[in-house]
Structure 1
Amino acid sequence: MKNVKFLLSAACALFAVATMAQDFSDPKYAIWGDTPEARKENILNSNFLKESLDNKDYDAAAHYLKELLDKRPQASENTFVRGTQLYKNKINRAKSLAEKKMFTDSLLLIYDLRLEYFGDHPKRGRAYILDRKAREVLTYLPNDRAAIRKAFREAIAEAGDNADPESVVAYFSNLCDDYKNTDEVMPDELLAEYDRLTPFFEKNPDAAEYKKQFDAAFGLSGAASCENLENLFAPRIAAAPDDEELLGQAFMLMSRANCDSDFYFTLAEKYYEMKPTSENAMFLAQSFQNKGDYNRASKYLNEALAVEQDPAERQKLYARIGLLEFVSNDIQGAAAAARQARDLNPEDGLPYFILAQCYASSAAACGGFAGQAAFWAAYDTMAKAVELLKEENYIQTAKTSLAAYRSRFPTSEECFFNEVKEGASYKVTCGTAAGIVTTVRPR
C-alpha cells in the first residue's frame, strides 16, 4: 500500500510539474479562475482532492474540497461528486453520533451546493441531484421520518413523469410505514398520495413490477380498508366505468381487503368479464365463498377451468374447487376435484389435505368396521399432506386431524372379530376412499 501511495504521489507531482508549464491565460481555463495564478491553484487542488481520496487521506481531501468550494465551486461537477464520496467515507468512519451527524450534514450540504451550481445540467440537473439526495437522507437519517418524506417529495415533484419508479415506491413505502408506526401520517394523507401517484404508473407502463410493490405497500398499510377504498374508487369508476386498468386496480385492492359490499361485487364481476383469468376467478370465487354464495363461487372457478390451458394454473383451480365443494358438503365432488389436482402436481400437499377430509367425512357416514377402516386411508393421506404442505394454517389443522383420525381406528378386538391382522393389507370398501389399499392398525 505504501508503494501504491508513493506512486500516486509521484504521479501527482509529475502532473504538478506539467501544470506549471501550461499557459493558464488561455480562455479554455477561464472556468477555473479570474487570473492565471488562481486557475493554476484551483486545478492543482482539484487533482490533489482526487489523489487524497484515492489514498484514503480524508483529512487532506477535506482541506482541498474546502479550498475549491470557497474559491471556485462552479468549475467542475466532479468537485461535488468527490465531496459526496469524501463525506460518505467520513460518516462510515465516524467515532461518535455527534461526528456522524456533523458529516451527514456536510454530505447533504454538498448536494445543496451542487443544486446551486449545477442544477441546470442537461443530464444530471435538479431532478437527478434531488433524487440522489433523497436516497442519502433515507440511508443516513433513517429515523428522521419527516426529512425522508420531504426529500422524496421534492425529488418526485421535480422529476414529474420522469421520476425514477424505484424512488416513487421508496417514498410511498416509507409513507405507509409512517402511517402504521407513527402518528405523523393520517389515513387521508395516505389515500391522497396513493391517488396522486397512481397516474405516474399509468404513464410509465414499463414500471409494472414497481406498480405491484406500490399497490402491495398500500394494501398492507392498514389504510386500505373497504370503506376507504370504496370512497377512493367509487367516484373514479363512476367517471370512467369501462377503464379496465382502473377496475383491475380497485378489484385487486378490495379483494385483498376481503370486501363484501355491493359496490365491490358489481365492479368485481364487471372486471372479470373484461379479464377472465384464473387468478381473477379465484379472487372472485373466494369473495363469494366468504359471502356464503357457493354456487356463484363454483361458477367462476369452473368457468376459469374451462378456458385455462396452463397445467399449473389448472392444478390450482382444481384444488380451489375441491376446497369449495368440501365446504359446501359435496364430498364426492370435492374428492374428484382433489384427485385431479393431485394428479397434476403430486408434490402439492393441498389436494391430499382435501382428500383426507373427504375420506374421513364419508367414513363417518358408513358406520361399522368398514367405516372405521376408512380412517386408515384418511390418516395415511393426511400424513402425506403434513409432509408436503407449506401453508402454516393448513399444517396445524392437518396435524390435529391426524390425532382425530387415529382415535377412530378400530380396536384390536374389532380387528380380531373382523379377521384382519395388524400389519396386513386392507382394501377400503366404504365411501370416497373405496378401493384404496391401506395397512391394518389397531387404535
Structure 2
Amino acid sequence: MKNVKFLLSAACTFFAVAAMAQQDFSGPQYAKWGDTPEEREKNILNSNFLKESYENRNYDAAAHYLKELLNSCPDASVAIYQRGANTYKQKINRAKSVAEKNVFIDSLMLIYDLRAKYFGDDPKQGLAFILDQKAREYLTYKPNDRAGIRKAFREAIEAGGANADLETVVAYFSNLCDDYKNTDEVMPDEIIAEYDRLLPFFENNPSAAELKNQLDAAFGLSGAASCDNLEKLFSNKLAAAPDDEALLAQAVSLMGRAKCNSDFYLATAEKYYAIKPSAEAAMSLASAFQNKGDFTKALNYLNEALAVEKDDMERQKLLLHISLVALINKDYTNAASSARQARDLNPEDGAPYFVLGQCYAASASACGGFAGQATFWAAYDAMAKAIELLPGDSEYVEPAKASLANYRANFPNTEECFFNELQSGARYTVTCGTAAGVVTTVRPR
C-alpha cells in the first residue's frame, strides 16, 4: 500500500511538472518566486516537491527542498515555513544521536527566526504568533537551556504587547519561578518585579481567572515573595525615593498580598494611604493591624473605608468585618451595632447572626439576675439563625453549634420563670445588655 501511495504521488508530481511546463511565469503574480521565469518555475516546483516529500514522510528530501527554497525565495510563501517546521520536528523525533538531534533543533529555531524576518508583519500570524510558537518549541526541545527559554518567552510576550497570549505569560513566569528555586540564575527581586509587570495582563482580562490563579500560585510557591525579601527590596528603593507614589503602591500591593505586618510595611502602607486613601488600602491596613493585635487602629481604618464605600454589598462586608474585630476586642456594643447593620443589608448571611449571638451572651453577665439569664434566649435565637443560614463548610458552623448547648444551659429554670410570672412559650422582651429590646420566647431549661 505504501508503494502504491508513492507511485500515485510520483504520478501526480509528473503531471504537475508537465502542466507547469506549459505555464507562463513572467507575470507579476509570480515575482515573489524569483527574478526570472525559469527561477520562478524551479522554485514553485521545489515548493510542490517539499509538500509531496513531507506528506510521504520523506523528511530528508523535504529538508533538501526546504533549504533550496530558503536560499532562493525566502519570502515567497509562509507555507514553506509551516512545512519546514513540521519537517524538522519529525526529524528531531527520529534523530539517531543527541548531536544530530541538537542540529535539527537549531534548524527548527532558525526556521522560526526566518519566518519572523519575512512574515512578521502577517496580519493574522505575525511576529507575536511566530515567537510564541518558537518559545513553546524551545521549552519542549531545549528544556535544559534555562536562559534561552526565558529569553524566548520574553521576546514572545514583548511582541504580543497588551494582547500577549496569557498561557504563554503563565508558562514564562512559572519557568522563571522554577529557575529561582532550582538555580542561582534568578534573584528574588526579578521574580517580584516580573510578577508586578505581568499582573496587569490578567487584571485587564477578568475572564482569565484560572490563568491568574496559576500565576499567583507560581508566585506564592516560589518563595521569592516572602516578607523578608520584599522588605529588603523595598526598604532600599524607598530610602532612595521615599515619596515615589508608584513605588509605594507597588510595595503596599505586594507586601499586603504576602500578608506582611512588620513595622516597615505598616509605616509604608500608612504613608501611601495618606497620599492616596481608598477603601481597598484601608482594608489592607486594617487586616495588618488586626494581625498585630492593634484592634483600635484596625477599627479606625475599617471605619474610614466604610465612610467612603457606596456599594451596599461592599458595605455589608465591611460592617461584618468591623463587627468581628470589635467582638475580638470585646467591644460588644460596637460589634452588635455593626452586625445589625450588616444583617439589615443582607438578611440571608448567617455571619452577622453569629456575631450577635456572641454579643448577647457576652453582655448577659453584666445584667445579672433573671434579666441576664433571659438574655441567653436572645443569644440562642441569633445563633440558631446563624446555623440555619451559614453554609455547611463555614468556619463558624461548629462553634455556633457548640454555643447553642452552652446558651441553653444558662436559660432560667421553670421555678425562676414561675416567680417572674412567665409561662413557657410566652413572648419576652430583653431588658438589658446588647440584646435590650430584642423580643424572644420563654423557654425554661
Same fold (TM over 0.5): yes
CA distance in 1, matches of 2:158, 2:411: 78
Change (3 A) 1:65 1:440: farther
CA distance in 2, matches of 1:218, 1:106: 35
Tell me if the contact between 1:32 and 1:38 (Cα under 8 Å) persists in the aligned partners. Answer: no
Partner of 2:46: 42
Stretch moving more, 170-179 or 341-350: 170-179
Superposition map of 1:78-117 within 5 A: 78-84=79-85, 111-117=108-114
Partner of 2:435: 433
CA distance in 2, matches of 1:297, 1:106: 63
CA distance in 2, matches of 1:340, 1:83: 68
Cα deviation for residue 200 of structure 1 reads 5.0
Q: Secondary structure, in 3 states, of the residue corresponding to 1:23?
A: coil
Instruction: Provide Cα deviations, 1:220-270, integer angstroms capped at 9, x if missing partner.
Output: 533222221111112222233232222111112212333233321221011
Superposition map of 1:259-298 within 5 A: 259-298=260-299
Stretch moving more, 308-317 or 330-339: 308-317
Partner of 2:188: 191
CA distance in 2, matches of 1:380, 1:85: 71
Change (3 A) 1:185 1:433: farther
Alignment-mate amino acid for residue 34 of structure 2: A
Change (3 A) 1:34 1:146: farther
Partner of 1:353: 354
Partner of 2:403: 404
Q: Secondary structure, in 3 states, of the residue corresponding to 1:333?
A: helix
CA distance in 2, matches of 1:38, 1:172: 46
Structure 1 portions without partners, runs of 5+? 1-8, 53-58
Tell me if the contact between 1:77 and 1:114 (Cα under 8 Å) persists in the aligned partners. Answer: no
CA distance in 1, matches of 2:111, 2:203: 32
Cα deviation for residue 335 of structure 1 reads 0.5
Alignment-mate amino acid for residue 118 of structure 1: R
Partner of 1:30: 34
**Do residues 69 (structure 1) and 60 (structure 2) align?**
no
Tell me if the contact between 2:354 and 2:382 (Cα under 8 Å) persists in the aligned partners. Answer: yes
Alignment-mate amino acid for residue 235 of structure 2: A
Change (3 A) 1:84 1:421: farther
Alignment-mate amino acid for residue 153 of structure 1: K
Partner of 1:3: none
Change (3 A) 1:403 1:260: closer
Cα deviation for residue 281 of structure 1 reads 0.5
Instruction: Provide Cα deviations, 1:46-68, integer angstroms capped at 9, x if missing partner.
Output: 55479x5xxxxxx5485774453
Cα deviation for residue 289 of structure 1 reads 1.9
Query: TM-score, length-normalised on structure 2?
Result: 0.74
Partner of 1:5: none
Q: Secondary structure, in 3 states, of the residue corresponding to 1:223?
A: coil
CA distance in 1, matches of 2:306, 2:235: 31
Superposition map of 1:233-244 within 5 A: 233-244=234-245
Structure 2 portions without partners, runs of 5+? 1-8, 207-211
Query: TM-score, length-normalised on structure 1?
Result: 0.74
Change (3 A) 1:317 1:199: closer
Instruction: Provide Cα deviations, 1:119-138, integer angstroms capped at 9, x if missing partner.
Output: 42343677653432223455
Q: How many residues align?
A: 414
CA distance in 2, matches of 1:32, 1:389: 81
Change (3 A) 1:201 1:165: farther
Change (3 A) 1:161 1:280: farther
Change (3 A) 1:127 1:40: closer
Partner of 1:151: 149
Partner of 1:224: 225
Cα deviation for residue 279 of structure 1 reads 1.4
CA distance in 1, matches of 2:442, 2:90: 71
Tell me if the contact between 1:379 and 1:402 (Cα under 8 Å) persists in the aligned partners. Answer: no
Change (3 A) 1:63 1:337: same
Q: Secondary structure, in 3 states, of the residue corresponding to 2:222?
A: coil
Alignment-mate amino acid for residue 42 of structure 1: N
Q: Secondary structure, in 3 states, of the residue corresponding to 2:186?
A: helix
CA distance in 2, matches of 1:321, 1:49: 73
Cα deviation for residue 172 of structure 1 reads 1.8
Partner of 1:55: none
Stretch moving more, 342-351 or 73-82: 73-82
Alignment-mate amino acid for residue 269 of structure 2: A
Tell me if the contact between 2:59 and 2:90 (Cα under 8 Å) persists in the aligned partners. Answer: no
Stretch moving more, 301-310 or 121-130: 121-130
Alignment-mate amino acid for residue 254 of structure 2: L
Tell me if the contact between 1:371 and 1:430 (Cα under 8 Å) persists in the aligned partners. Answer: yes
Stretch moving more, 111-120 or 340-349: 111-120
Q: Secondary structure, in 3 states, of the residue corresponding to 1:319?
A: helix
Tell me if the contact between 2:361 and 2:407 (Cα under 8 Å) persists in the aligned partners. Answer: no
- The alignment yields a C-alpha RMSD, in angstroms, of 4.6
CA distance in 2, matches of 1:382, 1:88: 66
CA distance in 1, matches of 2:169, 2:348: 40
Q: Secondary structure, in 3 states, of the residue corresponding to 2:82?
A: helix
CA distance in 2, matches of 1:329, 1:241: 38
Tell me if the contact between 1:133 and 1:151 (Cα under 8 Å) persists in the aligned partners. Answer: no
Tell me if the contact between 1:131 and 1:156 (Cα under 8 Å) persists in the aligned partners. Answer: no
